[in-house]
Structure 1
C-alpha cells in the first residue's frame, strides 16, 4: 500500500480561527483548496471580524487579499489557481464584480482560471465570497 499524502491545514496570521471545524485552506500533495473567503479585514486579536467596507469593490479586493494570503501560505500563487467560485448576494452586482475581477487579474501571465458565479445568502453586510482550487508544480 502506498504512503498516504499528508493533509495540512493552512491558516495565515491575517485570519482568525474559523467559526466551525474547518480550515481556511488545506494542502494535500500538490493540491491546495482555499475555503470560501469573505471581505473581512485582517484579524485583530480580541475583536470581531470586520468587513472591509460597505461597497462591493472594497469587499471584493479584500476577499482577493484573503484568498491570496492562503495561497501564499500554502506555497501557491494566482498562477496556480485552476478554479475559482464566486458567490454574490445580489444578481445586480455581477457586472461590477466582473469589472473588478478583470482589473485585478489584468496582469496574469498564464491562462486565467476557470470560474463559476452563483448567488447565495451571506451574513448581514457581506456581499461576496470566493473560494479557489490551486494545483502546484
Structure 2
C-alpha cells in the first residue's frame, strides 16, 4: 500500500516534525489542528468559540486537500484544556457535521501547543 503526504496552504503549516495529513490507501490520518490562522500562523483569538470554529475550518481545508470533505471523517479526537466547553464544542460541531456523525472522543488535557484551548485530529475514509 502506498502512502502520500497531504499538504495545503489553506490550513496552518506543520509546526513540528509531522505532516498535515497522511493518506494510506483510502484512509487519511489528519494531524491535530489548533486554532492558527493559516495566512499568519497566529492564534485566531482568545475566545473559545472562535478558536473552535478555526480548528474546524482548518480540518475542513485538510479534508479538501486530501480529496474529501468533513462527511468522510469517521473518527475525531477533541482535546480541550477546559471540559466546561464541551457543550459549546457540540454546538459548533453541529455546524460542520450531519448525521451520521463520526465516532468521537473528548479528552481533557492540561495544555496544548501555543496555549490553544482546543485541538482536533481525525481519521477520514475516502469513497472507493
- Structures share a fold, TM > 0.5? yes
List alignment gaps of at least 5 residues for structure 2.
Answer: none
Q: What is the TM-score when the length of structure 2 is the normalising length?
A: 0.89
Q: Which has the higher strand share?
A: 2
Offset from partner CA, 1:50-81 (integer Å, 9 cap, x none): 11111111011110010111111001111111
The 3-state SS of whatever aligns with 2:44 is coil
Aligned length: 126
Alignment partner, residue 124 of structure 2: 134
Equivalent position of 1:35 in the other structure: 31
Whether the 8 Å contact between 2:32 and 2:120 is mirrored in structure 1 is yes
Structure 1 residue ranges (4+ consecutive) displaced by more than 4 angstroms after TM superposition: none
Which ranges in structure 1 are unaligned for 5 or more consecutive residues?
A: none
Q: Larger Cα Rg: Structure 1 or Structure 2? A: 1
* TM-score, length-scaled by structure 1: 0.84
**What is the aligned counterpart of 2:81 among 80, 84, 89?**
89
State the Cα deviation string for residues 61-120 of structure 1 (Å, max 9, x = none): 110010111111001111111101100001211122222222433xx2x51111100011
What CA RMSD, in Å, does the superposition of the two structures yield over aligned residues? 1.5
